[in-house]
Amino acid sequence: KADRAATNRYDITDTYNSEGQQRHYERSLRSVPKGMTQAHSVAASGLESGAVYDPLSSQLDADSHEAAASSERAGARRLAAEMHRRAAKSDATRKKRSAVEFDATDISGINKRNKRFNEKIGRNFDAHTAEIRQNLERGTAL
């Protein structure tokens, strides 16, 4: 249990510390299909296993340039798909949370913190304030 608490101490969305950034990076790597990282790095470098790079050569191979450009386009598509997936997941979570939050018949707070405070204070003072609350609801309060 202590290991889990230490692992979850920093949220994935916490961008203000290096541990949260590292967890976000690891999650992003898990969402990339296996084998794509090595294949992409080889394609980006433009070198096969036996090829030698000559920096003085002024001729660019059109095939390797097109392959690198198509690889970049494929990477951009994967990135866009991943961002859309995360946005949809976030929207679904937000909708579910708001639906559960507003199912209550008596809304007694402006946010979660205030709602919790009202619950705590209600345990001690509801018995004493019940008559005043009823008068306010009827409109007969002084």
Model pLDDT for residues 104-140, shown as the tens digit of each residue: 556 777 888 888 888 888 888 888 888 888 888 888 7
Among 8, 33, 34, residue whose Cα is nearest residue 23: 8
- In this structure, the number of other CB atoms found within 10 A of the CB of residue 23 comes to 19
What span, in angstroms and rounded, lies between the C-alpha atoms of 122 and 104?
A: 16
- Provide the residue type at 130 as one letter: A
What span, in angstroms and rounded, lies between the C-alpha atoms of 5 and 23?
A: 14
User: Is the pLDDT assigned to residue 45 strictly greater than 60?
Assistant: no
Percent of the chain with pLDDT over 70: 67
Cβ 20 vs Cβ 10: under 8 Å? yes
What span, in angstroms and rounded, lies between the C-alpha atoms of 47 and 64?
A: 9
Sign for the CA dihedral angle at 39, 42, 47, 50 comes to negative
- In this structure, the number of other CB atoms found within 10 A of the CB of residue 72 comes to 13
Q: Report the chain's mean pLDDT, rounded to a whole number.
A: 75
Tens digits of per-residue pLDDT, 54-64? 666 655 555 66
**Residues 56-73, mean pLDDT to the nearest whole number:** 68
